[in-house]
């Protein structure tokens, strides 16, 4: 994709999916009934500082319902806008490879056997991808469309400690290598606005994502939910929360430094308005995305302009 000769200033997931499948593909977000080692006591009981009660999956299907039921229910919501009705089934809540291998096999293949599902996406932590799981993912990857999502959030181990991520960045680098060896696509999540994070830290994170050959990226804004662990931390430590103009400036800079082949899945945060404590401007997701587009054009920035 030659971004300089294209109206698109970055390589979006929409574009990638249209190129790959020939038409728009939606995602249905599923709750596979998992927990997380960073919450169940294996690593910690606190979880990551920003994690919500729903394991960072606020808009997913209902826990307890079967995978097929969840897919069918969500298909009803999108059937008006999606004439082909083909979807990616996205296992989103908590850590979706943290369970017995036979259970993982069962639910992944249940999703893949649905007639409207053209592939699956699986969100997890790099320390929850052992060889057995990688083998299962390789098997699926040979026959179906698959991507994995890794919650890196930051390349900086000192900040990872503040947010209680529970693994070292080296673990992410090692797993990235294993996924690349198996030709398995992976998306890396990073957060802008973590406590005590500097602009240089953000650039370091983007550089790492470029270097490990991540297939995709999700850039999240750190938002604070009411009555959350993060709200209590904020009230005690009063760390900087970005204004909208500052956030969109930073995102534009990060896009400029991002390798052009990396597929951009997300450029902001997505909290339920009624649960949001700060920053309130983030509730206007459309406005934030429009501002990013406007700045990219105004500053003549495109993805990869300052890469390498
Ligand atoms: S790894 Fe994910 S699910 Fe687990 S505590 Fe962190 S954000 Fe929550």
pLDDT in tens, 190-210: 999 999 999 999 999 999 999
Q: Is 189 touching ligand 1 by the criterion CB < 6 Å?
A: no
Tell me if residue 231 falls in helix, strand or coil: helix
Arithmetic mean of pLDDT over the chain: 94
Atom 3, ligand 1: residue with shortest CA distance: 94
Domain range enclosing 164: 3-298
pLDDT in tens, 123-158: 999 999 999 999 999 999 999 999 999 999 999 999
User: Per the domain annotation, does 308 fall within a domain?
Assistant: no
User: Per the domain annotation, does 198 fall within a domain?
Assistant: yes
Q: Is 39 touching ligand 1 by the criterion CB < 6 Å?
A: yes
Atom of ligand 1 nearest to the CA of 95: 3
User: Per the domain annotation, does 44 fall within a domain?
Assistant: yes
Atom of ligand 1 nearest to the CA of 44: 5
User: Per the domain annotation, does 128 fall within a domain?
Assistant: yes
Distance CA 1, CA 18 (A): 13
Distance CA 7, CA 3 (A): 8
For residues 37 and 98, the answer to whether their CB atoms sit within 8 Å is yes
User: Per the domain annotation, does 307 fall within a domain?
Assistant: no
Q: Return the CATH number at 80.
A: 3.20.20.70
Q: Is 56 touching ligand 1 by the criterion CB < 6 Å?
A: yes
- Ligand 1 centre from 122 Cα, in Å? 14
Atom of ligand 1 nearest to the CA of 94: 3
Task: Give pLDDT, residue 83.
Answer: 63
For residues 171 and 123, the answer to whether their CB atoms sit within 8 Å is no
Atom 7, ligand 1: residue with shortest CA distance: 51
Task: Give pLDDT, residue 257.
Answer: 98
Stretch 53-73: mean pLDDT: 81
Task: Give pLDDT, residue 272.
Answer: 86
pLDDT in tens, 4-20: 555 789 999 999 999 99
| Local structure of residue 12 (DSSP, 8 states) | B
Q: Residue 60 pLDDT > 80, yes or no?
A: no
For residues 305 and 256, the answer to whether their CB atoms sit within 8 Å is yes
User: Per the domain annotation, does 28 fall within a domain?
Assistant: yes
Specify which residues 94 forms β-bridges with. Answer: none
User: Per the domain annotation, does 305 fall within a domain?
Assistant: no
What's the number of domains the chain is made of?
Answer: 1
CA end-to-end span of the chain, whole Å?
A: 18
Q: Is 166 touching ligand 1 by the criterion CB < 6 Å?
A: no
User: Per the domain annotation, does 251 fall within a domain?
Assistant: yes
């Amino acid at each position: 994709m030659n971004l300089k000769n294209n109206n698109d200033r970055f390589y979006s997931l929409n574009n990638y999916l249209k190129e790959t499948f020939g038409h728009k593909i939606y995602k249905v977000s599923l709750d596979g009934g998992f927990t997380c080692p960073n919450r169940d006591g294996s690593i910690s009981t606190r979880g990551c500082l920003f994690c919500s009660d729903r394991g960072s999956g606020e808009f997913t299907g209902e826990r307890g319902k079967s995978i097929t039921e969840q897919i069918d229910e969500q298909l009803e919501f999108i059937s008006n806008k999606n004439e082909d009705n083909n979807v990616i089934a996205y296992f989103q809540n908590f850590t979706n490879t943290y369970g017995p291998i036979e259970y993982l096999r069962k639910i992944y293949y249940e999703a893949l056997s649905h007639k409207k599902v053209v592939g699956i996406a699986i969100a997890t932590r790099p320390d929850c991808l052992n060889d057995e799981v990688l083998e299962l993912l390789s098997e699926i990857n040979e026959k179906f469309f698959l991507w994995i999502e890794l919650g890196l959030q930051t390349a900086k181990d000192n900040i990872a400690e503040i947010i209680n991520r529970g693994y070292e960045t080296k673990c992410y680098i090692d797993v990235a290598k294993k996924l690349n060896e198996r030709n398995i696509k992976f998306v890396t999540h990073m957060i802008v606005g973590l406590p005590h994070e500097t602009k240089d830290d953000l650039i370091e994170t983007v550089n790492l994502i470029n270097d490990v050959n991540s297939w995709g990226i999700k850039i999240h804004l750190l938002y604070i939910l009411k009555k959350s662990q993060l709200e209590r931390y904020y009230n005690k430590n009063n760390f900087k929360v970005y204004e909208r103009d500052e956030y969109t400036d930073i995102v534009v800079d990060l896009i400029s430094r991002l390798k052009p082949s990396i597929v951009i899945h997300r450029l902001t945060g997505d909290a339920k308005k009624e649960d949001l404590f700060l920053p309130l401007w983030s509730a206007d997701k459309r406005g934030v995305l429009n501002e990013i587009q406007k700045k990219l054009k105004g500053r003549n920035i495109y993805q990869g302009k300052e890469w390498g």
